[in-house]
């Protein structure tokens, strides 16, 4: 039988969080320096390259935030939806399905409208966007409203479930969420990055929805990080880094919610994770610049519209090995046409054949050298 006050939201002082500033000070300074340096690099790019960097980052954010919850979205569909909403060229990408459109709409509202207040109605709209059918898999949800019943986070087989967390009772949600929203929308002397970490923890502790709480908590953190950056240009993905460290993420959330209201451990991890996300963003910028060099190198090369469209798909991060059959499926052309397309690109030095031959014949892009 669990003891009284086993969760932080049951403590008498809830939600009066505390932390140790001297423990966080150095790490916060390093992260803020990293953010400033990365934003400076992005601002030095041309408009097209900045847009491309933003598109890549947001695509990663949508994919990885959903992946944390075990939902795998099609990358091409996510990129297509984002490109449409941002007014960018789709490059022959497929139209996005309804499920993808909702996740994209939530993230764009959070990051592109970061200066707008966070309200209950705005959160309800995000929840509707995440669950447009009113279902999570086969289970009906209370969509666009606070949950009506108890909420436990459990794992394990039926009959031997392990309770990781039990959220506040439903009758407390109206008051608790109003207190959270009042705090979030009020000016504070708290550093904006620390506020992002605290907002994430506070919201996910309340767990006000039937489902989607993790994704919405990360969207709230993204909104606050956009405010901290002072820029609509998204150039790093916190969700991608959280996904890479998801076991530690879940473990720390669980232990922090069973501890005291001192959230130093959680904020330390959040800052360190953010720092690693900013470091990882350097690779995204490198890919954007490599793509620009590629097209600059081949600006005078004669290419068909189909070849240009498929090369763009490859440059945007094609996963797996490229074969003539995959080319035919993506281009919606015959196997013979795909073979001719590929042979022409090999002859022009754009693609090169991998060592394995026969039915295993595959190809990869011949990237230009850096510089």
Mean pLDDT over residues 118-127, rounded? 98
Least confident of 21-25, 227-231, 294-298, 338-342: 294-298
Q: Both 338 and 217 in a single domain?
A: no
Q: Both 74 and 126 in a single domain?
A: yes
Q: Both 149 and 283 in a single domain?
A: yes
Residue 95 lies in a domain: yes
Is 203 in a helix, a strand, or coil? helix
Q: Both 285 and 302 in a single domain?
A: no
CA 304 vs CA 307, 310, 322, 340: distances in Å: 5, 10, 18, 12
Most confident of 197-211, 287-301, 344-358: 197-211
Q: Which of 262, 289, 316 is the last residue of a domain?
A: 289
Query: Can you tell me the distance from the alpha carbon of 205 to that of 13, in angstroms, rounded to the nearest whole number?
Result: 15
DSSP structural state of residue 45:
S
> Across all residues in the chain, what is the average pLDDT?
88
Cβ burial, residue 123 (10 Å; 0-12/13-18/19+): buried
Q: What is the pLDDT of residue 251?
A: 92
Stronger pLDDT, 61 or 47, i.e. the higher one = 61
Q: What is the pLDDT of residue 1?
A: 36
120: pLDDT strictly greater than 70: yes
Mean pLDDT over residues 76-83, rounded? 87
Q: Both 176 and 205 in a single domain?
A: yes
**Which tens digits make up the pLDDT trace of 167-204?**
999 999 999 999 999 999 999 899 999 999 999 999 99
Q: What is the pLDDT of residue 94?
A: 62
Q: What is the pLDDT of residue 189?
A: 92
Query: Can you tell me the distance from the alpha carbon of 74 to that of 48, in angstroms, rounded to the nearest whole number?
Result: 24
Residue 31 lies in a domain: yes
pTM strictly above 0.85: no
Q: Which of 289, 324, 347 is the last residue of a domain?
A: 289
Residue 7 lies in a domain: no
Q: Both 279 and 310 in a single domain?
A: no
Q: Which of 254, 289, 324 is the last residue of a domain?
A: 289
Q: What is the pLDDT of residue 95?
A: 65
Stronger pLDDT, 241 or 80, i.e. the higher one = 241
Residue showing tokens 């209201």: 261
Q: Both 200 and 312 in a single domain?
A: no
Mean pLDDT over residues 157-167, rounded? 80
Domain that holds residue 133: 19-289
3: pLDDT strictly greater than 50: no
Query: Can you tell me the distance from the alpha carbon of 289 to that of 308, in angstroms, rounded to the nearest whole number?
Result: 18
pLDDT grade for 23, boundaries at 50, 70 and 90 = very high
Q: Both 217 and 308 in a single domain?
A: no
Could you give the number of structural domains in the chain? 2
Domain CATH code at residue 170:
1.10.3290.10
Q: Are 13 and 261 in contact (CB under 8 A)?
A: yes
Q: Both 159 and 303 in a single domain?
A: no
Residue 10 lies in a domain: no
Residue 12 lies in a domain: no
92-113 per-residue burial string, b: 16 or more CB within 10 A, e: under 16: bbeebeebbbbbbbbbbbbbbe
Is 354 in a helix, a strand, or coil? coil
Query: Can you tell me the distance from the alpha carbon of 266 to that of 196, in angstroms, rounded to the nearest whole number?
Result: 12
Q: Where are the alpha helices (DSSP H) in 87-185?
A: 98-112, 120-130, 173-185
């Amino acid at each position: 039988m669990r003891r009284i006050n086993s969760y932080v939201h049951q403590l008498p002082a809830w939600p009066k969080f505390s932390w140790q500033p001297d423990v966080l000070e150095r790490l916060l300074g390093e992260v803020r320096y990293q953010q400033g340096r990365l934003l400076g690099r992005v601002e030095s790019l041309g408009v097209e390259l900045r847009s491309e960097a933003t598109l890549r980052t947001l695509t990663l954010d949508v994919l990885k935030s959903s992946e944390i919850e075990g939902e795998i979205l099609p990358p091409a569909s996510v990129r297509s939806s984002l490109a449409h909403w941002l007014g960018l060229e789709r490059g022959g990408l497929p139209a996005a399905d309804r499920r993808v459109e909702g996740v994209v709409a939530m993230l764009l509202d959070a990051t592109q409208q970061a200066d707008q207040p966070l309200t209950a109605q705005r959160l309800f709209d995000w929840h509707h966007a995440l669950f447009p059918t009113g279902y999570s898999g086969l289970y009906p949800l209370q969509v666009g409203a606070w949950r009506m019943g108890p909420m436990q986070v459990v794992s394990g087989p039926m009959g031997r479930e392990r309770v990781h967390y039990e959220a506040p009772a439903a009758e407390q949600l109206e008051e608790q969420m109003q207190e959270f929203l009042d705090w979030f929308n009020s000016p504070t002397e708290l550093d904006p990055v620390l506020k992002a970490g605290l907002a994430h923890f506070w919201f996910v502790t309340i767990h006000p929805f039937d489902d989607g709480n993790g994704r919405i908590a990360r969207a709230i953190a993204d909104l606050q990080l956009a405010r901290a950056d002072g820029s609509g240009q998204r150039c790093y993905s916190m969700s991608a880094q959280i996904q890479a460290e998801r076991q530690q993420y879940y473990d720390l959330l669980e232990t922090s919610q069973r501890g005291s209201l001192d959230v130093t451990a959680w904020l330390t991890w959040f800052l360190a994770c953010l720092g690693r996300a900013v470091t990882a963003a350097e690779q995204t910028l490198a890919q954007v610049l490599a793509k620009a060099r590629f097209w600059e190198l081949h600006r005078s090369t004669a290419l068909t519209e189909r070849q240009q469209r498929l090369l763009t798909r490859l440059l945007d991060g094609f996963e797996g090995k490229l074969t003539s059959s995959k080319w035919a499926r993506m281009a919606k052309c015959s196997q013979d046409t795909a073979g001719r397309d590929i042979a022409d690109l090999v002859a022009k030095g754009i693609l090169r054949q991998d060592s394995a031959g026969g039915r295993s014949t595959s190809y990869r892009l011949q990237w230009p050298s850096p510089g």
